[in-house]
Amino acid sequence: MALTITDECINCDVCEPECPNNAISQGDEIYVIDPAKCTECVGHYDESQCVAVCPVDCIVVDPNNTETPEQLNEKFLRLTATPA
């Protein structure tokens, strides 16, 4: 499952640099997570780095983008593949 940032976001800027997939960016009002790039840090870390550093616990599982651990790993492999 990809993650999402809720309206409780305080724009503290700590999550964006922690994302190894560059899935987090500043949105119109709060930070947003691109579900096409979010692997919940599968392949990089044992836990989602953005969730670990968020001081207000506003990063949660996105119910609109459910994926199995296997699918997250496949996405990680696609995102990190070296072009031929």
Digit-coded pLDDT (tens) for 16-28? 999 999 999 999 9
Pairing of strands 3-5, 24-26: unpaired
Look up the pTM and report it: 0.90
Residue-wise pLDDT for 38-58, tens only, equals 999 999 999 999 999 999 999
DSSP reduced 3-state for 5: strand
Q: Taking the CB of residue 66, how many other CB atoms lie within 10 A of it?
A: 10
Contact 35, 62 (CB under 8 A): yes
Spans of all domains in the chain: 3-80
Q: Six-digit token pair at 53?
A: 């550093």
Instruction: Return the CATH number of 3-80, one of 2.60.40.10, 1.10.540.10, 3.40.50.300, 3.30.70.20.
Output: 3.30.70.20
